[in-house]
Amino acid sequence: MIYRRGVILALFPILLAPQAANADGKAFGGKFPHFKTLHEKEQVAVIAHQNGIQKMMIAVNIAMASDESGLWILPIPAAATDVEIDLLDSFPTFKGDDPRHVDIDYHTAFLLMRIPQVWPLFFDAIFSPNFLGVDLQIHAKAQKWGIHSEVIETESKEALLSHIHSEGIELASKELDSFDPYFNGDFSFVATWIESISKL
């Protein structure tokens, strides 16, 4: 399985890991600045838990034309101050015998030995939160290859929409309706801006 550079996020540490399955990202895009909901062809994640911390790598395949820009938003069940992000140019490949023909204990041990080798990540500078107003704060950023990701803290759909509009993007409020359950103070958001598929 091959993914184009940059559409892979590494998110960690994320607390309350068992709730991560409740959150799902949503993609938007189109010819700048007119964005609408886009189809996610595929979303793959590698998740490891250790000492109450969840380390997660996500690869997303979004249906975008080469001349289109995109935005992918993922709710995270953790405080924004507990989330770090980075952009990676590859996704780990796990190899082994077909588990239908191998003893389950061996297969599990093999995967557990491989997972710790996935996580050496390289970070941009650590900085203090960027306060964009009373209702929205940015706590972390990562930028590479024409892709910009940020960890956002907000309890307001209107504040998130206003932030998107401040990037010059035209997006209708109804496009964010599926995130309504996450504007409760228990979730933060990772927003990833894709300048152009052709630049990846």
Q: Report the candidate in 125, 116, 136 with the shortest Cα–Cα distance to residue 188.
A: 136
- Nearest CA among 93, 69, 122 for reference residue 3: 93
Place of tokens 């080469």: 66
Q: What is the pLDDT of residue 100?
A: 56
Q: Which of 130, 96, 134, 138 is nearest to 113 (CA)?
A: 96
- 158: in domain: yes
- CA pair distance 43, 58, nearest whole angstrom: 7
- Domain tally, the chain: 1
Q: What is the pLDDT of residue 147?
A: 87
Q: Low-confidence residues of the chain, pLDDT below 50?
A: 1-23, 102-129, 131
Q: Is 2 within the bounds of a domain?
A: no
Residue at 121 is within a domain: yes
Region of 33 (left: φ > 0; alpha: ψ -120 to 50; beta: rest) is: alpha
Distance separating alpha carbons of residues 38 and 9, to the nearest angstrom: 18
Contact 152, 138 (CB under 8 A): yes
Query: So what's the pLDDT on residue 104?
Result: 46
Reported as a single tens digit per residue, the pLDDT across 87-134 is: 877 766 666 666 555 444 444 444 444 443 333 333 333 344 454 556
Note the pLDDT of residue 112.
Answer: 43
* Residue 3, in any domain of the structure: no
Supply the DSSP string of 183-200, one letter for each residue. Answer: -SSS-EEEEEEE--GGG-
**CB of 26 within 8 A of CB of 73?**
yes
* 1 assigned to some structural domain: no
101 lies in a domain? yes
Output the pLDDT for position 196.
75
Q: What long-range pairs does 125-130 form, CB within 8 A, spacing at least 24?
A: 129/80, 129/81, 129/153
Domain span holding position 28 = 8-199
